[in-house]
Amino acid sequence: MQKTTPAGLRRTLASALAFVLLLGVCPGVAEPTDSSDPALALERIGVMPFFKGSFGSSITESVVCPVCDLTYDPRSLSADCDKVLTRYVREALEKKHGDRVLSQPLVAKTYAQLPLDDRRDTPLSLSQKVGKLLGANLMTVGTVWKYRERAGGASAVSSPASVAFALHLVDVESGKVLWSKSFVQTQRSLSENILNAKAFFEQGAKWLTADELASFGVKEIFKEFPY
């Protein structure tokens, strides 16, 4: 057996230490992702009107009033925020899928005519009912729990806009939630959040209205939409 000298031992230890330090500073390797198309093809898709709800509202559970307003603080929500978000989501889908997106007036009319069971119906079950009646195989279901307007103008505010909502994609036949994503943001100035300068400039380097912040949020979550 070859005998290791003190000098050789020191070199071995130094090499090992360098290797450990290298592991510590090298960027991590991302796990491979499946880039294949989702197993369920998009044939026709509809957008359920957004539900106003509290933080943590689930589309699979009853929350006091599962088919109307869920449970929420109306002071945190503007009157038409559900309609605004529904429109933004529909527009985003139409850009990608054109006439495979159901007419929004037709979805709204079909939903309004459904017989409702306040004890059993949930946003998820209602989306299945509407989807089946209209021949869609996928539906989006959204909840919004904060939609607060800025106090001030584009150059200066005393209180910034704040928006929080979630969007879910539902398989109409099985009721399975295929994908979910939330957007929760109160706009901050560049000096308050220098580490997120990219988002500040993407938002126009100004103080946004709640509608503008919501529009930005829909665009952000659609970057990860699976279809």
Helix, coil or strand: residue 108 = helix
Domain assignment of residue 11, yes or no: no
**What pLDDT score was predicted for residue 162?**
94
Domain assignment of residue 169, yes or no: yes
Helix, coil or strand: residue 90 = helix
Domain assignment of residue 106, yes or no: yes
CA dihedral 121, 139, 128, 59 (to 10 degrees): -30
Give, for all 227 residues of the chain, the pLDDT tens digit: 444 444 444 444 344 333 332 323 233 333 333 334 467 899 999 999 999 887 666 787 654 454 445 556 677 899 999 999 999 999 999 999 999 999 999 999 999 999 988 778 899 999 999 999 999 999 999 999 999 998 888 777 788 999 999 999 999 999 999 999 999 999 876 566 555 556 666 666 788 999 999 999 999 999 999 99
CA dihedral 218, 220, 168, 85 (to 10 degrees): -10
In the chain, how many domains are there?
A: 1
**What pLDDT score was predicted for residue 203?**
65
Provide the residue range defining the domain that includes 141: 42-224
Task: List the CATH number of the domain containing 193.
Answer: 3.40.50.10610
Residues near 35 by beta carbon (within 8 Å), at least 6 away in sequence: none
pTM for the whole structure: 0.75
Question: What is the per-residue burial (b if ≥16 Cβ within 10 Å, else e) of 200-211?
Answer: beebeeebbebb
Domain assignment of residue 77, yes or no: yes
Domain assignment of residue 12, yes or no: no
**What pLDDT score was predicted for residue 92?**
98
Helix, coil or strand: residue 4 = coil
Domain assignment of residue 176, yes or no: yes
